[in-house]
Amino acid sequence: MITTLLKPNQSTTPSHFYLTIRPPDIDVTNHIQQLKSSSTVTIVSEAEIVLQSGQPGTRLEIDSMGRSISLVTKINSRTVVLTCFGDFALFDEIAVTLKGSE
């Protein structure tokens, strides 16, 4: 997995964003199923969203050693997961902007 930390400027509780590109053999459905089958993960909510690019994604609110929100989508034939810990205020605004490079 390749993970990058992005930190938006915020004046209150900090947000920590992690962008993970899953191995080619893990598709979106497999990734979500792995989360759901884990005994240490509780899916609090799950919703389908559409990114600005028109690509579908799944938004998950997760409780596992703390609360997080993730977007799971397919970009450039790879499963991409954006996860946020801390202040979730900017998550949806940032998540919908994900897109592949050409």
Q: What is the pLDDT of residue 23?
A: 94
Give how far Cα 9 sits from Cα of 15, 23, 62, 90, Å. 8, 30, 24, 10
Rounded to two decimals, what is the model's pTM? Answer: 0.85
- Domains of the chain in start order, with CATH, are 2-95 (3.40.1000.10)
pLDDT at 77 over 80: yes
Please report which confidence band the pLDDT of residue 15 belongs to, taking 50, 70 and 90 as the band edges.
confident
| Mean pLDDT of the 81-91 span | 90
> Mean pLDDT over all residues of the chain?
88
